Structure 1
Amino acid sequence: MRPSYGVVDADGHIVESEAKLMDYLEGPYAEIKRFHSFLPGPDGIVGGGTIAGKDYFDSSLGGKLGAHGGPGFPSPQEWLDNADTGNLEHIFLFPTTLLGYSRIQDPDYLIALTRAYNNYVSEEWLKVNPRFKSVALMPFTDIEESIKEMRRCVTELGFSGVFLAAVGFGLLGEKRTHAFYAEAERLGTFVAVHGGHATREQRYTKFIQRHTIGFPVSAMQQMMHMTYEGVYEKFPDLRVGYLEAGATWVPYMLNRMDEEWEKRGWFEAVECKKKPSDYICGGNVFIHAEPGEQLLPEVIRIMGQNRLFYASDWPHWDHEFPESIDHIMDRTDLTEQDKMDILRNNALEMYGIS
């Protein structure tokens, strides 16, 4: 069953073309020869790994799952045609190739590439159809440059938020990051913390191992650090979402953080003035709900009705769109209001769309 209202896809993906991105590089990088290994893939590989490290896994199982589960490089029109099958009203776009951009170690190249990607998305997606929305990539190793790029993307290019990778930029609650969050709060800009793979140093030998553990653990790590280091205390109006990690880890993590805070917070988390669960459940923190998670009603009971949101993840190998909408609508343990909040209302609030 499909809903009568328009669904909001809080996390769909562009499969960005390297040739297109090269057209948007500026400065000295515009003169670099275009060759296939120039950009990092989702695992951070660049030309055999000299910039971002060698941690390649075959997520498509030799193509059996499809390169991304959909067209290799879906055009805007293909995306819209696909969106119509699920009655998507708004589509918030994230990268694919550049999901691993946080592992780029050359700071100047990172700045140039994030700017190129943001310009590419603005020109070739956002201007095509108003249903397309997007988050901007940030060169987060350089906070001053990130603030400048956030201002440009939000005020000049019409982006709806910013994307911080949960793996590769270190711990996102570090004091050096607080000026960025202050400006995001001032601008009313949503901050998306997108889950990422476990690193190669953790010695997983198969993609299934890495993918299973990496996304939720990276979200847990960043939520914990941002909370203890006072991000949610200092910036109460900052909207933050944790994407592509599911939702049912949150009650466990809230219990664990509260217990640790009660015993040690007075000394080791002095910027966290309240119980961690008070910030996560009572503030502006949003969580991606997977349609098949059995404990979603319990998460709603603990966190409140307006915290969980839907995402298609199309066209990645593990998406189930548009059937994923049916999975939510067919559930008997969620109220109709719960379903509408997950499929529409909460994402609109999260992204600040009236």
Structure 2
Amino acid sequence: MTKTNFNIPLSGDRSMPIEGFDTSLHLKHAADQAKARGFDRFPIIDVDSHHYETESFSEILEYLEDPVLQQLAKTASASRHGAFGMLPGNIGYQDMGGRVARYPLRQLEKTGPEAHRDITMAKRWMDALSVDIAILFPTPMLNLGLHPQIEIEVALSRAYNRWLTEKILPNDPRLRSMLYLPFNDPQATYEIAKEFAGKPGVLGYMVTATRNRAVHNDAYMKTYAFLEEAGLPLGFHASYNWNDQTMAMMNKFLSVHALGFAISNMVHLTNWVINALPVRFPKLKVIWIESGLAWIPFLMQRLDHEYYMRKSEVPSLTKPPSDYMREMFYTSQPMERPNDIRELEQTFRMINAPTQLMYSSDYPHWDFDVPSVIYDLPFLSEEEKRAILGGNAARVFNIDIKEKLAKSI
């Protein structure tokens, strides 16, 4: 059989053979862009980036505490289905066929023995984008909240958290994470929050928003109280579920992707505000991740409208829902590109973006955003750009960036 020689186009007339794929070359344009804008002069913190934890699944399985479950998982991983013996399937095709080659070629990229492969791969894209610190999230596990066996979510999330805090985060200070909480089990959620607090690189905790558990259930209150007291932010990371009855009426992934990522966080945020959780936990920093921004002004107006007509249903709220929403935090990606820049400017104004918005790339996903997506906005001052790209995250997560700030003076 004749071997096909695939090439990945790069800048100019150069190309990179598939056998020599390297993230640093793949992101050369991004690196050139970062250099031209002087991103090395001030800190950039990426609040939502990803790795493919299934590439290290054999390591993660060693951290499973239940020997029976571990044996079953290893058997599944030895099959052609790999890690998906433990992860629920999801319908969809985020890969843009023929255009984005990062996913399949990651497995062919060569790394040395000096560091764990995840660390090396992360630092390559971070250096290209001029990102100083990246908050790392899993990818296939974002659907784990839909698993019909709650004990699987608990066991796998604890194994993943142990692997991440022992193998990855302690070995490079540029990598941090908000650890996975198995939200379908409130008691396990509380125990994991307490168990991993203070571990190297742990900045807070993350709940995958694609699930069917209400955030205002009383069983979660002790977890929220603990996080507030410990000063650890709580993030809700959006995703999609084409199997959901509402989403199933759509026949294009474009439609599901457009609405699914927003709806999952809209539901949880609505419950969070209307059930007065900002009143009960005023110092708990809550972050809404990977939903874009356009949905926030819409939800502000809808909830305020209902609030003014039905205040009797929410006696604990002392101000309209939008005021509580403006005190929350949001990540930028995927930031919508409106035809009229004034639309985006108005969104930034409504959410208090200069203090509440934090840059995220979502790399290596197909729709990732480079830092210039924020830096090139004409309606932001230099100070506001730097706050969104790094300063706000440093404040929210209590990250020391004094050394990098000194270089910007």
How does the TM-score come out when normalised to structure 1?
Answer: 0.88
- What letter corresponds to residue 256 of structure 1 in structure 2? R
Distance in 1 between the 2:225 and 2:372 partners? 39
Q: What are the within-5 Å matches in structure 2 for residues 252-267 of structure 1?
A: 252-267=298-313
| 1:5 aligns to 2:51 (yes or no) | no
Q: Deviations over 1:265-322 (max 9, x none)?
A: 312x3333321112122x3x101224554434323322322011111111112224xx
Displacement of 1:38 in angstroms is 6.3
Aligned pair partner of 1:273 in 311, 315, 318: 318
Structure-2 residue corresponding to 1:83? 126
Describe the shift of the 1:55–1:88 C-alpha distance in structure 2 as closer, same or farther (beyond 3 A).
closer
Larger Rg: 2
Q: What are the within-5 Å matches in structure 2 for residues 81-160 of structure 1?
A: 81-156=124-199, 158-160=201-203
Distance in 1 between the 2:260 and 2:348 partners? 24
Larger mean CA deviation between 166-175 and 308-317 belongs to: 166-175
Displacement of 1:173 in angstroms is 2.5
| 1:311 aligns to 2:360 (yes or no) | yes
Larger mean CA deviation between 61-70 and 285-294 belongs to: 61-70
Structure-2 residue corresponding to 1:43? none
Structure-2 residue corresponding to 1:297? 345
Structure-1 residue corresponding to 2:70? 30
| 1:65 aligns to 2:100 (yes or no) | yes
Describe the shift of the 1:27–1:68 C-alpha distance in structure 2 as closer, same or farther (beyond 3 A).
same
Number of residue pairs matched? 339
Distance in 2 between the 1:265 and 1:65 partners? 49
Displacement of 1:151 in angstroms is 1.1
- What letter corresponds to residue 350 of structure 2 in structure 1? I
Displacement of 1:212 in angstroms is 1.0
How does the TM-score come out when normalised to structure 2?
Answer: 0.77
Q: What are the within-5 Å matches in structure 2 for residues 48-63 of structure 1?
A: 52=88, 55-62=90-97
Distance in 1 between the 2:241 and 2:310 partners? 28
Distance in 1 between the 2:165 and 2:276 partners? 33
Distance in 1 between the 2:103 and 2:380 partners? 30
Distance in 1 between the 2:217 and 2:309 partners? 22
Larger mean CA deviation between 151-160 and 328-337 belongs to: 151-160
- What letter corresponds to residue 23 of structure 1 in structure 2? E
Q: What are the within-5 Å matches in structure 2 for residues 149-228 of structure 1?
A: 149-156=192-199, 158-200=201-243, 201=245, 202-203=247-248, 204-228=250-274
Distance in 2 between the 1:292 and 1:92 partners? 22
Conserved 8 A contact 1:161-1:191? yes
Displacement of 1:134 in angstroms is 0.5
Larger mean CA deviation between 63-72 and 187-196 belongs to: 63-72
Larger mean CA deviation between 55-64 and 173-182 belongs to: 55-64
Q: Secondary structure at the match of 2:310?
A: helix
Distance in 2 between the 1:246 and 1:280 partners? 15
Describe the shift of the 1:187–1:166 C-alpha distance in structure 2 as closer, same or farther (beyond 3 A).
same
| 1:230 aligns to 2:270 (yes or no) | no
Q: Secondary structure at the match of 2:380?
A: coil
- What letter corresponds to residue 71 of structure 2 in structure 1? E
Displacement of 1:108 in angstroms is 1.9
Displacement of 1:123 in angstroms is 1.9
Distance in 2 between the 1:302 and 1:24 partners? 45
Gaps of at least 5 residues in structure 2 are: 1-36, 110-116, 401-409
Which is richer in helix?
2
Distance in 1 between the 2:319 and 2:103 partners? 42
Conserved 8 A contact 1:232-1:279? yes
- What letter corresponds to residue 167 of structure 1 in structure 2? T
Distance in 1 between the 2:151 and 2:129 partners? 40
Distance in 2 between the 1:286 and 1:130 partners? 24
Conserved 8 A contact 1:70-1:315? no
Q: Deviations over 1:112-160 (max 9, x none)?
A: 1011100111122202200110011111112121111011111345411
Describe the shift of the 1:211–1:110 C-alpha distance in structure 2 as closer, same or farther (beyond 3 A).
same
Displacement of 1:175 in angstroms is 2.9
